[in-house]
Structure 1
Amino acid sequence: MPRSSTARPRIAITVGDPAGIGPEIAIAAAASREVRAVCEPVLYGPHSAAALAGFPVGQVSAAAGQASYDAIVAAVRDAQAGAVHAIATGPVHKEAFAACGLPWKGHTDLLGHLTGSPRAAMMFHSEPLRVVLATVHVPLRDVSRLLTQALVEDIITLTARSLPDFGYITPRLGLAGLNPHAGEHGLMGDEDDAVLRPAVEACRARGIDVQGPLPGDTVFLKATRGAFDVVVACYHDQGLIPVKLLAFGQSVNVTLGLPIIRTSVDHGTAFDIARQGTADATSMVSAITLAARLASARLASSRPASGSP
């Protein structure tokens, strides 16, 4: 049966690792007034008391890793088939993934694999600051090697192409430098001048409004004061420390570059407080409502114009 033009989008909510807080925040968020007002939530993964009994609370296990993986696969399958319009994911545990033999370090690389996306990137979206990561879950010693000009160009281009979906029609990007003072013209490392600067120049030549590399100790401050709509960070902690300092619990993890909409919480599995009734569902609510907003906009743009046959 065709959906009416006023129908709310259906949002898949995966519960994440069943040994952590994912199931309880997913249930709480799905039942919240804010979520029910903007979408039809659909839970994926073990979340009933009976289903959760098979997963010891707060413990890494292959079974929990497999269950969280299976929920993601099912949600992606349904999103690709149009049965749901977006996915909001609960936190998974990387060690549990590894325990059941999965090669992926988390959602971003797994979702890229499942959807056949050649390049996916992690963005943290919040009111005071938006950050995209050029590299994600890799050891710090490997960051310099992985930061090629081609990668940085791809991430900048993907970010500029994606930001209009979030209301930034002509986005302004700032690229954080890798080294202190963005290398100080080679005095503190040559990656900024040899890799990052040429990537910025190439993107600017294609019409992208991007500046950098800029010193990492000031670029985020400039962004919060309105100089940039988003900052591209070179590595995980460089980007996530400022956004979590400013908006922990309210920021949303968004995967750019996928054919489907995917959002997530800005925190981990919190094994230490799992099933104690104290977990805060605010970030999950934010993730679901942002997914619903993006899905509603996409649905609206795909409907025939008024008066069309």
Structure 2
Amino acid sequence: MDRLFAGAIPALLGFLADPDPRRWQVLARLAVAGLMSMARREDVVDAGPEAAVPWVEAALRGEERPAVGGGGGGGGLRLYPVRDGSGLPLLLIGDSRVKPQGLSALAVLDDRPEAVAGDGAEHRRRWKAWLCWGNVLQFLNPSGEGRADGLQLARTALDAFDASLLAATAGQAGGLLTALREDRQGTGLTDAGAEPERGADVRLTDSGTGAVANTGGTTPTALERTMAWQLVLRELSYMGDPAIEKLARTLAERSDVPPPEAGWDTRGVSRPLELAWPTARIAVVLAEDAQDTGYLTECHAAGWHVGEAAAWDETELAALLREARTGVTDEGGGGA
């Protein structure tokens, strides 16, 4: 059970050591079932599949939930809105119509700008919990056959979310992953924005969104690099650390810095590296993590050169990454 919550790398190594999906499904169900007792009795409702759809959509968005009864499709569902110890909201759905009882769980991170900027430290705590629950919830439906849903969702994707796609609501598809494979709209798992045309030039704007100019002359390598930076900046917006995001935007404007990984889990390090270049083993970490000697010891023992955003000079960081790509092992730079 501990491996489920130890981070992505320990969870992956644990699964590789014991790759029995049924056993991991049992562990995930136990972890999620433990949350049910945290739901307030007055918030738990019984509903049929049809009646559950608008209730689920409102609950995920944090809006006032409509009244429901046991009808609307024959009943059979019990809905539990809960928050974990970090304050992260999750919605649990028990389905008594299947044997063994179906159990779905959806974790929602509020990634809207006002939420990210409003309580930075608390938001980062919820973001880390969101990542951790993602490692757990995926095992609720290990076969992908649509008997349950266990997924992470972002608040900004919920305007287009259709709860009738859930396995428990027995609607248009057999679960969200099935709907995703069939390219259905309303999963909340894909970018609602239009993808740029092949050959278009995508440039970063001040807000971090992409502005597309149809130049027709952009090479695929340049396009892929810019798109990769776009994804990194989006992930950083979930984390809510202004200093790291500012440094990342500055690095993204340079042509000599490859896109990093955001929220990188690595073996031997107990918490994610906020901005990491795994090949070079260079990373930017939270200021609070940079003050944690135990965490720094883990990073150094794992061969990582790390520092908080304020400790890195963009030119020196770019030089270190360039040297790492060419095989030079200079240990300069502002990181620890």
Interval containing the TM-score (normalised by the shorter chain): under 0.3
TM-score scaled by length of structure 1: 0.28
Which one scores higher on RCO, CA 8 angstroms, separation ≥ 6?
1
Larger radius of gyration: 2
TM-score scaled by length of structure 2: 0.26
